[in-house]
Amino acid sequence: QVQLVQSGAEVKKPGASVKLSCKASGYNFTSYYMHWVRQAPGQGLEWMGIINPSAGTRISAQKFQGRVTMTRDTSTSTVYMELSSLRSEDTAVYYCARDPSRWSYQDYWGQGTLVTVSS
């Protein structure tokens, strides 16, 4: 069965960076793109970007350009999302989510990683 297992909660200070992981299993990792979506406490969903695990190409939302880096390791079927220059507004649960049709919706989601940015 498809599983996306994300790394554990993080606490960071403003200005720091955080790197989250999302390990995929149960399907051909390089055949499905992966999205990153975040959700601030009590707020809605915010799309951050998408990566093609086969080619490594990615697109991020303009809001995060320059601060977000998405990478992948095909040997471990893991995608990573690094967010730099953290501020308090980046406190959120970050989800990875599989894309079944390339540049489309998200059918399987990770359990989420809580990132808390606080001095």
Partner 1 sequence: EIVLTQSPGTLSLSPGERATLSCRASQSFSSGYLAWYQQKPGQAPRLLIYGASSRATDIPDRFSGSGSGTDFTLTISRLEPEDFAVYYCQHYGSSPYTFGQGTKLEIK
Is residue 27 within the footprint of partner 1 (CB under 8 A)? no
**Residue with Cβ nearer partner 1 (101 or 119):** 101
Site string for partner 1, 92-111 (x = CB under 8 A): ---x-x-----xxxxx-xxx
Among 30, 47, 54, 71, binds partner 1 (CB under 8 A): 47
CB 97 within 8 A of CB 110: yes
> Binding partner 1 by CB under 8 A: which of 61, 74, 82, 85?
61
Report the alpha-carbon distance of residue 75 to residue 4 in Å, rounded. Answer: 16
Report in angstroms the alpha-carbon separations of 11 from 15, 102, 118: 12, 33, 7
Total of residues contacting partner 1 (CB under 8 A):
22
Cα(17)–Cα(108) distance, integer angstroms: 26
Burial of 39 (0-12, 13-18, 19+ CB in 10 A): middle
| Residue from 18, 22, 81, 112 binding partner 1 (CB under 8 A) | 112
* Shortest Å, Cβ 3 to partner 1: 12
Phi, psi (degrees; rounded to nearest 5) at 7: -70, 170
Binding site for partner 1 (CB under 8 A): 35, 37, 44-47, 50, 59, 61-63, 95, 97, 103-107, 109-112
